[in-house]
Structure 1
Amino acid sequence: MENLDSQQLNLLITLRLRQLHNNGLKGILFDDLVRMYRDFIWKNGQPVHLNEIASDVFRVSDETIVRWLATESKIDGYRYSLEDFLPMLEDEEL
């Protein structure tokens, strides 16, 4: 269980993702959860034992996940200028 590519961890995150989708949060992706656990929950190191990992995966509330993703999105937005978003706006039908 040393890395985020393990089969057991992928299963746990997939189960958590299904819970989120069942709770109406269908816009959250598998990669979003992997990033959140890696960069936020386990920033000081991932637990070694599967039961600790499972506890961490299911302990985090839906609200915390949404809040972290929103904060991450806001931080990423600061890295861009308005000109970077012009192609998106030009492609949209108004």
Structure 2
Amino acid sequence: MKDENTQQFKLLLTLRLRQIHNNGLEGVSYDDLYRMFTTYVWRHKEPTRLSELADDIFKTTDEDVVRWLATESKINGLKSSLEDYQNLFEDEEIQ
């Protein structure tokens, strides 16, 4: 992403995040949206104009965000192993 669009990108993501929170999805974070756009929506081609940035961000529905987060969670779960959760088992035994 071009440097001149970085501030605008942050502002647009923040505005979209407020909309999402107002719609009852308080669990979605700024980092979630950032990852979604940078690794999924724009994985093949980043927008070059501010109008394209805004259009992509605001045409994405709440359902799109939730669906992407669920898919990301499944993928991360498949990539992990039981050793990744070993500390949870150890903490449980202590209590």
TM-score normalised by the chain length of structure 1: 0.86
Q: Percent identity?
A: 53
Aligned to 2:59: 59
- Residue 44 of structure 1 deviates from its aligned partner by 1.1
Task: Report the aligned-residue RMSD.
Answer: 1.9
Kindly state the Cα deviation for residue 90 of structure 1 after the two structures are TM-superposed: 4.8
Q: Which has the larger radius of gyration?
A: 2
The residue aligned with 1:73 is 73
Q: 5+ residue gaps in structure 2?
A: none
Q: Which has the higher helix share?
A: 2
**For structure 1, which runs of at least 5 residues remain unmatched after alignment?**
none
CA contact (8 A) 1:2 1:46 kept: no
Q: TM-score, normalised by structure 2?
A: 0.85
The alignment of Structure 1 onto Structure 2 pairs a total of residues equal to 92
Q: 2:18 corresponds to which residue? A: 18
